[in-house]
Chain A
Amino acid sequence: MKKNIKITLLIIPIILIISIIAFGSFYTYWNNTTPDKTCASCHEIGKSVNSQAQSSHRNLHCKECHGTALSNGFHSIKEKGMMVVNHIKNKQVENIKLSEEQLLEVLNNCNRCHSSEFAKWTSGGHSLDYQHVFLNTKHNSTEQINYDCLRCHGMFFEGNVGDVVEPLNIKGPWKLKEEKMATVPAIPCMACHLIHQDGSPQVRPDYSNPKTIFYQKKGPISKLGFYDRHEKVYYPITQLPQLNLWEGDRKVKVSDDQLMRNCVQCHAPNSRHQSGTSDDRTPRGVHEGLSCMACHEPHSNNARNSCISCHPAISNCKLDVTKMNTSYSDAKSGNNIHFVACADCHNGSRPEGRGNRSRIVSIIRN
């Protein structure tokens, strides 16, 4: 009897040590060998591995963004284990996608390299959390929360809006179905960025003739796109529709900047595409034809001090444009900086001295 216990006591640690060594070496091997021997041997994610190998992130190993089976505790191994289970069960998986949780783990890794962009995003309007979107009493009491909220806020959420917040009425009080969702970013990096999209890593230019550096740059950027939660697919900006916008019956000139097509997917006018309706902020009036990017920094959306890049410190009218009666200087101004037109201030007539070419020229010269 005693002998048996002794033997058992001896065997257990031996088995343990062996399995630890076996597992440890496997784990090390697994995490450090090429993806085609590991991750990509799962045909389900072969496509993602291939696309990554041609992307601007090609120099990164999968685990640097996606973590390893142990990098996020039990949750990680469970989820990666399920992939193995599904694979072995030969469960057909079409168009494999990261869950919202996995995606947010990746997001934290974005920060490691792109800390400047991350910081800017954090400081801007797009870093809001679910609690800011779905628990805003003013909004919720004005308009019933509906399915399509998730189109722009929480596009990676798996489920419908009723699984995010309740009740779905305008009376409230509202609460999130799961408290931990409060701090989930509603518009993460991947809302606009296609991480695996074709591209090249940034490299130093050829310095042999500095004048050619400009010509070595390529554009427009196709690594941006709109994530359509229903199709579960990114539409690169090159494939997004161009906005047709109207002011009454007049067609508004809209910038050709493809980046803007991403913006208007959410900052969109009503179904008649009338300028200034609904969420539309497309420039009209004196700024008509400008891209959002002309004034807004893409990550922080900050437009402070943007005036200065086009307007001299003092405008052609001898006025400081930043101090004019527009929404730029005063949130309460009736002249929305996006739509303000000459006639809004000048009663439909030209200001004095306008058109006096010599004077304009002299201002510029000075």
Chain B
Amino acid sequence: MGNKHVNAIVVGAGAGGGIVAKELSVAGLSVVLFERGGWATYDDTDTDELKSQRTTVLGNAYGPDDLRYKRVVVNTDGSTYIVLPSDGGYNNNAACVGSGTVSYGAMAWRFMQEDFKLKTTYGPIEGSTLDDWPFTYEDLEPSYEKAEWEIGVAGDSTRNPFAAPRKKPYPMPPFSHNREAKLLYDAAKRLGYHPFPIPMLRNSVPYGDRPACIRMRTCCGYACPVNAKCGTQNTVIPIAIESGNCELRINSVVSEILVNEQGKITGVTYFDEKNRKQTQTADIVVISASATETARLLLNSKSKFFPKGIGNENDWVGRNLQGHAYTGAYGIFKDEVYDDLGPGASVAISDFNHHNPGIMGGGVLCNEFIRMPYAFTGIRPPGAARWGKEHKSFQRLNYKRVAQAVGPYQEIPNFESRVEVDPAIKDFWGIPVVRLSGTRHEKDIEGCKLMSEKAELWLKEAGAIQTWQSIGGRGLSGGQHQAGTCRMGNDPKTSVTDKYGRIHSVSNLFVADGSLNVNNGGFNPALTIMALGYRVGGYIASEWSKGNRFK
């Protein structure tokens, strides 16, 4: 029996897709929400460090699995190798209802006004596709606010003088600092910086019928044992399902977007939980599969009308893959700075986002999430033993005495950093896999070095007796903060979608995830992806109510 035609298909139940599904189904559209994974529970892997979303040596806690998925990475010399989801180079997010929002660190950043007009702020940069967004921060502000209140954010909106203006405060009070954050807070004050508690998509008080955070040390990379972390799986997706208009189809892998004789999108084909190929038709299709998988799906949907893949007339789909160059420093303190108060990260300074000489864009600096014992075995000052007796005593003596200040450095968009589909390699279902190539822009490393120096000084001021830098900015981009592959813009020649996420050349196909980001901000992008979900979903819903059927 075939599937019943619906108004809208949403591909991917993550930060973007979950919200779009809710916006559409609440507005009365019939929706099928596709998710390649299933429902995740804390019990799946609980506090297992070796199988989490942070350390994946024994596999990804919340998907995808190593048996059915793979990708190809292209080295700088042109040679290629295959990566599995549990390998670092795979650039994984997750595969489950809620996707990364089940296990993320849950920082809830709004981008700054400058982030929406980088080209105007910094001028064109050689070798970069730097551009302004097709709208301003003010246009996205209502969506940010909606995300903060519907998903739930704890923070203090008055303490960061560099934050873009907002209309409403956060719905929950901020989290208290742990010992390490207190030291860094005081040090930042002494240095004349402006420290403040990191806004978090996590309940500091009971909110949305869910309890307050119990401050587990395993938080970033893990699901929450008490459901205090706010993701789309425990907020908007249940609302969508309760509306009666949204069917969540789990363990279903969408393989292709279907195009009819008129060049219109008619639906998708997918493999259901029993790996049978199925078709689902709809009036509208929204892709929210992450920057790598959204691009892959578009590129894999080749037809008479779109021989190079949908929206790829100008070879822009999959281009400008960005993530964040994580850069910062470590410091060893005389006394213990670890007080087992999770998740670790709690203090931030936004002093190095924009308008710092030598840094384009920059990034926020925070104390880092708790490093579990195995992760800590790789954290050593330069020259220190990597194994043996000395390594073991370092582990014992310094585990609770090391702090890290680190931040997501805003990468400069690079056209050659890209997602393609591999001509030969296919996954379990026979779908051509993602092929990642290119590197970060060469200028990134300079900014990273400057940021790391600042982080090191901050740690020294806080009392670190030994410090060393960890400088990011080299190599392949992407990672969990992947973005940029279906850039929004007003010019169809230099972008993939319009300012509402609609593919320029198709009236009823939308994108709603990090792929849309023109640049990725100096912040973790989850809240921005959520805001884009509200923007795209809200636009479709309001047009629909006006009678627009996107034909």
Contacts and interface: CB of A to CB of B under 8 A. Distances in A.
Note whether A and B contact each other (Cβ less than 8 A): yes
B529 to A, nearest CB: 26
B77 interface: no
A160 B225 contact: no
Interface stretch (B41-49, B277-285, B361-369, B467-475): B41-49
A144 interface: yes
Nearest to B45: A230
A295 B433 CA distance: 65
Interface string B327-357: 0000000000001111000000000000000
B177 to A, nearest CB: 11
Contacts of A168: 227
Contact of A144 (B48, B210, B340): B210
Interface-central residue, B46, B47, B206, B215, by most chain A CB under 10 Å = B46
A171 B238 CA distance: 14
A162 B42 CA distance: 11
A148 B225 contact: yes
Contacts of A230: 43, 46-48
A277 B231 CA distance: 28
B214 interface: yes
B209 A146 contact: no
A270 interface: yes
A171 B208 CA distance: 12
Interface in A130-187: 143-144, 146-148, 150-151, 159-160, 162, 168-171
B211 A271 contact: no
B188 to A, nearest CB: 23
A144 B227 contact: yes
Contacts of B342: 271
Given A160-B41, A162-B41, A271 B209 contact: no
B215 A148 contact: no
Given A162-B41, A170-B209, A147 B227 contact: yes
A78 to B, nearest CB: 26
Interface in A218-250: 230
Contacts of A272: 215, 339, 341
Interface residues of A, number: 18
A153 to B, nearest CB: 14
B49 to A, nearest CB: 12
B98 to A, nearest CB: 14
Nearest to A160: B43
B451 to A, nearest CB: 31
B164 interface: no
A146 B43 contact: no
A307 B126 CA distance: 81
B226 interface: yes
Interface string B176-217: 000000000000000000000000000000100111001110
A169 B209 contact: yes
B226 A146 contact: yes
Contacts of B210: 144
Contacts of B209: 144, 169-171
By secondary structure, the B interface counts as loop
A271 B215 contact: yes
A147 B215 CA distance: 15
Interface-central residue, A147, A170, A171, by most chain B CB under 10 Å = A147
Given A271-B340, A271-B341, A271-B342, A146 B215 contact: no
Contact of A147 (B43, B339, B340): B43
A143 B209 CA distance: 8
Contacts of A162: 41
Contacts, number: 48
A146 B341 contact: no
Nearest to A272: B341
A147 B225 contact: yes
B240 to A, nearest CB: 16
Contact of A148 (B42, B48, B206, B339): B42
Given A160-B42, A160-B43, A230-B47, A144 B225 contact: no
B288 to A, nearest CB: 25
B222 to A, nearest CB: 11
Contacts of B225: 146-148, 151
Nearest to B214: A271
Contact of A270 (B206, B214, B339): B214
A150 B341 CA distance: 22
A271 B176 CA distance: 12
B102 to A, nearest CB: 12
A147 B214 contact: no
B371 to A, nearest CB: 17
A148 B341 contact: no
A344 to B, nearest CB: 27
B47 A147 contact: no
A147 B341 contact: no
A160 B214 CA distance: 19
A143 B41 contact: no
A160 B215 CA distance: 21
Contacts of A143: 206, 211
B234 to A, nearest CB: 9
B58 to A, nearest CB: 14
B85 to A, nearest CB: 23
Contact of A146 (B47, B206, B216, B227): B227
Interface-central residue, B43, B206, B227, B339, by most chain A CB under 10 Å = B43
A119 to B, nearest CB: 34
A270 B46 CA distance: 19
A19 B13 CA distance: 58
Nearest to B176: A272
A159 B214 CA distance: 22
Contacts of A150: 43
A246 to B, nearest CB: 10
Contacts of A151: 225
Nearest to B228: A146
Interface string A263-274: 000000011100
Given A143-B206, A159-B43, A271-B341, 6 more contacts: A144-B226, A147-B42, A147-B227, A230-B46, A270-B214, A272-B215
Interface of A: 143-144, 146-148, 150-151, 159-160, 162, 168-171, 230, 270-272
A-B CB proximity, top 6 nearest: A148-B225, A271-B215, A147-B42, A160-B43, A146-B226, A230-B46
11 contacts: A143-B206, A143-B211, A144-B226, A146-B211, A146-B226, A147-B42, A148-B42, A151-B225, A160-B41, A162-B41, A169-B209
